[in-house]
Structure 1
Amino acid sequence: MRKIEVLNMISVDKFKGVFVALNTIYDDNDNINTEEIKKLVKIYKTKGVKGVYVCGSTGEGFLLSTEERMQVAEAVKEASGDDFTVIVHVGCAGTKESIKLAKHAEKIGADAVSAVPSVYYRLSPECVEKHWNGIIDSTDLPFIIYNIPQLTGFNLPLDLFKRMAENPKVIGIKNSEEPVYNMERYRTVAGDDFIIFNGSDEQFLGGRLMGANAGIGGTYGTMPELFAALDKMINENRIEEAKKLQYKINDVIFELLSYESLYGAAKQVISHRFGINAGKPRSPFLEVEYSDRLQKTIDKIEKYVSELGEY
Structure 2
Amino acid sequence: MKYPLRNIHNQQFEDFRVKGCVCAPFTLLKDDGYVLCTRLHKSEVTKHGYTLIRQQSGSTIKRKSHSMIQLWASIKSICAFQSEINFDGFEEYAKYLVSQKFTYLFVNGTLAEGLSLTLEERKQTAEAWVKVAKGRFGIILHIGTNNYKDSQELARHAEKIGVDAIACFAPSFYKPDSLDTLVEYISKVASAAPNTPFFYYCINFFTGVYLNDAKFLELAESKIPNLVGLKHSSRELPNAHRCMMVNPKKFQVMIGSDVQLLTSLSLGIEVPVIASFLGQLFDNMKTAFDKVDMKTASKYQCQAQEINTIRSEFGAGINVAKAMFNIVSGLDAGPVRLPLTDLMNGTLEEGLSMTQEERKQTAETWVKVAKGRHAEKIRVDAISCFAPSFYKPDSVATSLSLGIEVPVIASFMGQLFDNMKTAFDKVDMKTASKYQFQVQELNTIRSDIGAAIPGTGINVAKAIFNIVSGLNAGPVRLPLSNLSQELKEQLKEKLDATGIFK
TM-score of the pair, normalised by structure 2:
0.54
Q: How many residues are aligned here?
A: 291
Which whole-Å deviations, capped at 9, do the CAs of 1:240-261 have from their partners, x for residues lacking one? 3211210111101111222256
Distance in 2 of aligned mates of 1:233 and 1:19: 19
State how 1:1-311 maps to structure 2 within 5 Å.
5-8=12-15, 10=16, 12=17, 15-28=18-31, 29-124=82-177, 125-139=179-193, 140-157=195-212, 158-166=214-222, 167-217=224-274, 220-260=275-315, 262-291=317-346, 293-294=348-349, 297=352
* Alignment CA distance shift 1:130-1:229 (3 Å): same
Which whole-Å deviations, capped at 9, do the CAs of 1:144-179 have from their partners, x for residues lacking one? 110111111112323222122454411121011212
Distance in 1 of aligned mates of 2:350 and 2:131: 32
- Structure (1 or 2) with the larger CA radius of gyration: 2
Q: Which runs of 5+ in 1 are unaligned?
A: 301-311
Q: State the secondary structure of the residue aligned to 1:279.
A: coil
Which whole-Å deviations, capped at 9, do the CAs of 1:96-117 have from their partners, x for residues lacking one? 1001111111222211000001
Contact 2:28 2:85 in 1 (8 A): yes
Distance in 2 of aligned mates of 1:279 and 1:198: 27
Identity %: 24
Contact 1:183 1:210 in 2 (8 A): no
Contact 2:277 2:329 in 1 (8 A): no
Mean Cα displacement is larger for which, 86-95 or 38-47?
38-47
Distance in 2 of aligned mates of 1:61 and 1:84: 19
TM-score of the pair, normalised by structure 1:
0.85
Q: Which has the higher contact order (CA 8 A, sep 6+)?
A: 1
Q: Which runs of 5+ in 2 are unaligned?
A: 1-10, 32-81, 356-502
Match of 1:305 in 2: none
1:128: how far off? 1.6
Contact 2:155 2:166 in 1 (8 A): yes
Mean Cα displacement is larger for which, 234-243 or 145-154?
234-243
Q: State the secondary structure of the residue aligned to 1:225.
A: helix
Which whole-Å deviations, capped at 9, do the CAs of 1:101-149 have from their partners, x for residues lacking one? 1111122221100000122112132222112111221111100110111
1:93: how far off? 0.9
* Alignment CA distance shift 1:293-1:67 (3 Å): closer
* Alignment CA distance shift 1:260-1:175 (3 Å): closer
Contact 1:195 1:213 in 2 (8 A): no
Contact 2:119 2:154 in 1 (8 A): yes
Which whole-Å deviations, capped at 9, do the CAs of 1:228-281 have from their partners, x for residues lacking one? 222333333332321121011110111122225632333233334444331011
Q: State the secondary structure of the residue aligned to 1:141.
A: coil
Contact 1:273 1:298 in 2 (8 A): no
Contact 2:324 2:348 in 1 (8 A): no
Mean Cα displacement is larger for which, 223-232 or 240-249?
223-232
Q: State the secondary structure of the residue aligned to 1:196.
A: strand
Mean Cα displacement is larger for which, 55-64 or 176-185?
176-185
Contact 2:111 2:318 in 1 (8 A): yes
CA RMSD of aligned residues (A): 2.4
The amino acid that maps onto 2:295 is: E
Contact 2:259 2:305 in 1 (8 A): yes
* Alignment CA distance shift 1:287-1:159 (3 Å): same
* Alignment CA distance shift 1:103-1:296 (3 Å): same
1:184: how far off? 2.1
Mean Cα displacement is larger for which, 35-44 or 268-277?
268-277
Distance in 1 of aligned mates of 2:352 and 2:249: 38
